[in-house]
Structure 1
Amino acid sequence: MIIDYPTLKIIWWLLVGVLLVGFAIMDGHDMGVGSLLPFVGKGDVERRIVINTVGPHWDGNQVWFITGGGAIFAAWPIVYATAFSGFYWAMLAVLWALFFRPVGFDYRSKIHNATWRSTWDWGLFVGGFVPPVIFGVAFGNLLQGVPFHFDDTLVPYYTGSFWGLLNPFALLCGVVSSAMIIFHGAIYLMHRTEGEVYQRSRMAMMLAGMVLLVTFTAAGLWVQYIPGYAYASVVDFAALPNPLGKEVVREAGAWMANYRSMPLTLLVPALAYLGAIAALLLAMRGRTLTAFVASSLAIVGIIGTAGVSMFPFVMPSSTVPNASLTVWDAVSSHLTLTIMFWATMIFMPIIVVYTSWAYKVMSGKVTAAYIRENEHAAY
């Protein structure tokens, strides 16, 4: 079956979104647990309980992060080149934060020393807290536009600075992202623990849930007054990769245009609210597995809201709007997208099946008795 070029462009916009959502759901609860580690675990045994709730899965879940980055590189190579050069220091901070995770998990319990273990506990906190904040800040900057342009040979040049990324709206988006991940991780901890760790996780869940709802609402109201981006020329849906072959204008309220023209897209932010509220209420009633599903749906809605608001823009340029990268003109060739599509149709179901199997086999509560019985095998 041959899929036409414009349809493939839409499919890959959706698939990249699926990979980002998969990363936020699967690796996100690991990061949420890491962010909560120093606060919900009081003492070595309790902290080992917290760590071992994600111990069997944390490394496997990173496949979503790696696959997402690879998909952006293959499907949107111009976006990859521009973003990774412009956000170089931010991405380097993410990588250095992530380095704490494998080392922290593997070496924390090797030495029976309180200072040693506490140091790695805070390292795991950094590895869980910093990446979601930076990813949220990055999304906040994408909604405002990124200062870059192309020369005559289509080489991208980033003209901003690292500190310029830390503007108020972007920081608010960072809070939304971190609250979302901590909320998700706290619910997972409630599902896998009991006793004092469960109660502290419950308190963290309620606080993070309220912060998420308030900040997501604030960001939604704020974005209505941010100058968005819109096509001023006729859209060539089958255009070959050439980000300079269009005319783009900035105008207030442009990020709301898709909701006005396609009212059904309002279901996406509605899903964010309904999922978050349902997760909060279900978790408070102790229905943690259902609450985890609801918080996963909230993540779908939150990330989906950003994607729907910006569509078809992927990386707008604040300095030269005509250089903005979109779904239509920043993609790979028809052949590349086709090959990648069929490869994804084969391997993504395999990833979903083995991940589901792993979670089913290694489910259940992690208790102090389990830690004592597996003193050397457990993290």
Structure 2
Amino acid sequence: MLDYPTLKLIWWVLVGVLLIGFAIMDGHDMGVGTLLPFAGRSDVERRVIINTVGPHWDGNQVWFITGGGAIFAAWPLVYATAFSGFYWAMLAVLWALFFRPVGFDYRSKLNNPTWRSVWDWGLFVGGAVPPLIFGVAFGNLLQGVPFHFDDDLRSTYTGTFFGLLNPFALLCGVVSSAMITFHGAVYLAHRTEGHIQARARRAANWAGLVLLLAFSAAGVWLARGIPGYVLASALDPAALPNPLAKEVVRSAGAWMANYHRYPATVAVPAMAYCAVLAALAWLRAGYTLAAFGCSALALAGVIGTAGVSMFPFLMPSSSDPRSSLTVWDSTSSHLSLGIMFWATLIFMPIVIAYTSWAYKVMSGKVTTAYVRKHDHSAY
């Protein structure tokens, strides 16, 4: 079996991969849902848009469920603390997600304009709200979350729901929303044609511009206005989990330290910028599949930037920095990480292979002619 510190680092990478996979796979259908009321001007156009993601949106939820399960299994202290502190925010995400299954299933049951319009806006809520809240959550992580542990390692959250809605966190919410909308617009341009595709391209241009500006603004703000966290004492990577067995201090510009310490990590935010620009260029040239691939790389770059900036911190504490959770002191046991690692090596390729096959089978353009011809089977 791999040694404990190596497994801790591997699971930091694997959880990051799962979060990026969730953003890419579930993110594009959330982005499509966000664009639904605006890219579709008639009922048949909106049915075309829904049918681009309708056959596989629920399969993409596997990434969401697996990501949550991996955090629970690999980082139980992070899971418990985050779900306590972000309780109402998590409920808001779940309430928004409720609109998706019922919206997809019931939207076309009645041929009534009011009925269908209500479900269209429900699908918009289910697509737009979760990315916004996830972005706000990341913004709060970068600033530190008000919680602390007692001597028995019981966490207490001392903040409020509205305290989460601070200016920097809302800016991160804009980054997340623009990122997912951009990704969904590129995907929609790939799967449609005509007027819908033209509107999707325009949406991608605007969302890409907002993403670049907001991502840049957040980076400048983080470097110059928000203190980061630094380990001020030695920490044994092989030790059993104990967040209180270290000292942590806050320092201006600390979130930029990893880029100075490991210059190669600059490639991660650089990839985000280059991938967005490349996606827009490929989209303009008509190579929509290449644009979608670059859009996926842009998501990996944005999310990876947050991970690289914070490493080794996972959930810093603003009220008691010593209670901050890191990669080294908030994980499961050596045995648990080892068993999960080998299970992941077996089942992850199966999930990826099946997903790839499903998308290959359902590839191609969705047109108004197709929706009209399959009126009783299409969404």
TM-score normalized by the length of structure 2: 0.99
SS at match of 1:230: strand
CA distance in 1, matches of 2:232, 2:205: 45
Identical counterparts, % of pairs? 75
Give the whole-Å Cα distance in 2 for the aligned partners of 1:278 and 1:242.
44
Q: Partner of 1:166 in structure 2?
A: 165
Measure the CA separation in 1 of the matches of 2:3 and 2:275: 35
Matched with 1:33 is 32
Query: Secondary structure of the residue that 2:107 maps to in structure 1?
Result: helix
Deviation at 1:239, TM superposition (A): 1.5
Structure 2 CA distance, aligned partners of 1:195 and 1:260? Answer: 48
Q: Which residue of 2 aligns with 1:12?
A: 11
Question: 1: distance between equivalents of 2:26 and 2:309?
Answer: 25
2:354 aligned partner: 354
Q: Structure 2 matches for 1:215-294, cutoff 5 A?
A: 215-225=214-224, 226-294=226-294
Q: How far off is 1:235 after superposition?
A: 2.0
Per-residue CA distance 1:340-374 (angstroms, 9 max, x = gap): 00010011100100000000000100001110111
Which residue matches 2:367? 367
- The letter of the residue matching 2:210 is V
- What is the DSSP-based 3-state SS (H/G/I as helix, E as strand, rest coil) of the residue aligned with 2:123? helix
* Aligned pairs for 1:112-123 within 5 A: 112-123=111-122
Map of 1:199 onto structure 2? 198
Q: Is 2:324 the partner of 1:324?
A: yes
Q: Which runs of 5+ in 2 are unaligned?
A: none
Q: How many residues align?
A: 378
Secondary structure of 2:108's partner?
helix
User: What is the Cα-based RMSD across aligned positions, in Å?
Assistant: 0.5
- CA distance in 1 between counterparts of 2:376 and 2:277 reads 40
Separation of aligned partners in 2, 1:127 and 1:239: 42
Shift of 1:284: 1.5
Distance 1:13 1:141 in 2: 19
Instruction: State the AA in 2 paired with 1:219.
Output: A
What residue number does 2:298 align with?
298
Q: 1:224 is paired with a residue of what secondary structure?
A: helix
- 2:153 corresponds to: 154
Q: State how far apart, in whole Å, the 1-side matches of 2:255 and 2:48 are.
A: 44
What amino acid does structure 2 have at the position aligned with 1:78?
L
Deviations 1:312-358 (A, max 9, x none): 00000000000000000000000000000001001110010000000
Other-structure match for 2:207 = 208
Q: Distance in 2 between matches of 1:110 and 1:339?
A: 46
CA distance in 1, matches of 2:157, 2:284: 46
Cα displacement (A) at 1:22:
0.1
Amino acid at match of 1:233: S
Map of 1:43 onto structure 2: 42
Q: Which amino acid aligns with 1:70?
A: G
TM-score (structure 1 length as normaliser): 0.99
Partner of 2:178: 179
Cα distance in 2 for partners of 1:280, 1:240 equals 47
How far does the alpha carbon of each residue in 1:231-270 deviate from its partner, in whole angstroms, 9 at most, with x for none?
0001211120111000000000100110000000001011
Moved over 2 A (4+): none
Match of 1:141 in 2: 140
> Tell me, which stretches of 5 or more residues in structure 1 are unaligned?
none
One-letter amino acid matched to 2:203: A
For residues 218 and 235 of structure 1, the distance between their equivalents in structure 2, rounded to whole angstroms, comes to 33
